[in-house]
């Protein structure tokens, strides 16, 4: 009898291959070079930190206009042998920035051993008189940084009564709600150019009044809608150009509490009085 199928082949178990063993030798040259680089870096750091060449020898202060140089130098102390790279310039900048008249400060390091202190002072914007009669020079951020017995020449004068005198702390913005309106008024006065003002008053309720040259007050009321009120004033002066020429003898006041309905109180002259 013929067989029609192949004779079964016995199962052959393949031998497992073992993982190849890494018999490569360590790269001695690479390890030596790596160690040499580390040693070189360590030597460079040691030289930078210990060498007298990188000690601070000179300190330059620039940007001062009114602040005495001695006052700046008193805020930080460079000890003898101070390393340039280890100089705590961040701490020194914070110390100098605490001065009320300083707007910003930066300290740069220059090789091999010098420091440059760049100070930016606050720019005077106005003189504000508080309830105690003292005048405080402030910048456009309403931060007082100088106290004087009289208003500084060339600055806008503001009489503020909506905060207490003790709240005028150098280096901290004045807590006056009327100052923002006063700033808008100052910008308008500068842009308009034909309405000279002697001073701006802010009462206890933060209501604003412009005192025009000649003694004529312009009452603006609350600090809300200040721009609309100034636009109404500008329109009124265009319709009545004579108002810009009147003084307190012929004009009592201009009231702009309501921007859409300005009120004018003119003095009735003797020739105009009824019999």
Mean pLDDT by 10 residues, the chain (275 residues): 53 51 66 70 60 86 95 92 90 96 96 94 97 96 96 96 96 95 95 92 95 92 93 92 83 92 79 46
Closest CA to 262 of 253, 272, 271, 270: 253
Q: For the chain, how many structural domains are there in total?
A: 2
What does the pLDDT read at residue 91? Answer: 95
User: Is residue 266 domain-shared with residue 133, that is, in the same domain?
Assistant: yes
60: left (phi over 0), alpha (psi -120 to 50) or beta: beta
What does the pLDDT read at residue 167? Answer: 96
Q: Answer yes or no: is 21 within a domain.
A: no
User: Is residue 161 domain-shared with residue 266, that is, in the same domain?
Assistant: yes
Q: Answer yes or no: is 66 within a domain.
A: yes
User: Is residue 211 domain-shared with residue 83, that is, in the same domain?
Assistant: no
Domain boundary among 121, 148, 170: 121
Domain boundary among 104, 121, 138: 121
Q: Answer yes or no: is 149 within a domain.
A: yes
pLDDT tens, position by position, 237-246 = 999 888 887 8
User: Is residue 96 domain-shared with residue 68, that is, in the same domain?
Assistant: yes
Domain extent for 174: 126-272
DSSP 8-state assignment for residue 168: -
Q: Answer yes or no: is 35 within a domain.
A: no
What does the pLDDT read at residue 146? Answer: 95
Q: Answer yes or no: is 89 within a domain.
A: yes
User: Is residue 78 domain-shared with residue 196, that is, in the same domain?
Assistant: no
Q: Answer yes or no: is 212 within a domain.
A: yes
What does the pLDDT read at residue 137? Answer: 98
What does the pLDDT read at residue 125? Answer: 97
Task: Tokens for 249, please give them.
Answer: 């003898």
User: Is residue 188 domain-shared with residue 232, that is, in the same domain?
Assistant: yes
User: Is residue 141 domain-shared with residue 208, that is, in the same domain?
Assistant: yes
User: Is residue 114 domain-shared with residue 240, that is, in the same domain?
Assistant: no
CATH code at position 258: 3.40.50.11690
CA angle 192, 193, 195 (to 5 degrees): 90
Distances in whole angstroms, Cα of residue 39 to Cα of each of 26, 32, 34, 46, 47: 21, 11, 9, 10, 12
User: Is residue 159 domain-shared with residue 199, that is, in the same domain?
Assistant: yes
User: Is residue 224 domain-shared with residue 241, that is, in the same domain?
Assistant: yes
Q: Answer yes or no: is 14 within a domain.
A: no
What does the pLDDT read at residue 4? Answer: 56
User: Is residue 151 domain-shared with residue 242, that is, in the same domain?
Assistant: yes
User: Is residue 56 domain-shared with residue 180, that is, in the same domain?
Assistant: no
CA angle 64, 109, 54 (to 5 degrees): 130
pLDDT tens, position by position, 210-233 = 999 888 999 999 989 999 999 999
- Calculate the average pLDDT of the chain: 86
């Amino acid at each position: 009898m013929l067989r029609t199928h192949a004779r079964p082949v016995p199962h052959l178990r393949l031998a497992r291959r073992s993982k190849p063993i890494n018999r490569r030798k360590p790269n001695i040259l690479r390890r030596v070079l790596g160690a040499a680089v580390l040693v070189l870096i360590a030597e460079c750091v040691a030289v930078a930190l210990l060498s007298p060449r990188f000690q601070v020898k000179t300190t330059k202060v620039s940007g001062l206009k009114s602040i005495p140089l001695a006052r700046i130098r008193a805020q930080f102390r460079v000890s003898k042998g101070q390393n340039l790279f280890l100089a705590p310039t961040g701490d020194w900048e914070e110390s100098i920035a605490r001065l009320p008249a300083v707007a910003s400060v930066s300290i740069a390091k220059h090789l091999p051993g010098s420091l440059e202190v760049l100070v930016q002072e606050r720019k005077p914007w106005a003189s504000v008189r508080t309830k105690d009669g003292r005048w405080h020079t402030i910048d456009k951020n309403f931060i007082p940084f100088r106290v004087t017995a009289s208003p500084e020449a060339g600055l806008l004068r503001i009489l503020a009564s909506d905060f207490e005198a003790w709240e005028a702390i150098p280096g901290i913005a004045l807590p006056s709600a009327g100052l923002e309106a006063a700033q808008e008024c100052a910008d308008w006065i500068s842009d308009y150019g034909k309405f000279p003002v002697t001073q701006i008053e802010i009462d206890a309720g933060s209501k604003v009044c412009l005192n025009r040259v000649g003694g004529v007050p312009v009452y603006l009321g609350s600090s809300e809608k200040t721009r609309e009120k100034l636009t109404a004033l500008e329109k009124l002066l265009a319709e009545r150009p004579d108002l810009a020429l009147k003084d307190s003898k012929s004009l009592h006041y201009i009231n702009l509490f309501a921007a859409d309905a300005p009120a004018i109180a003119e003095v009735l002259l003797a020739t105009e009085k009824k019999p």
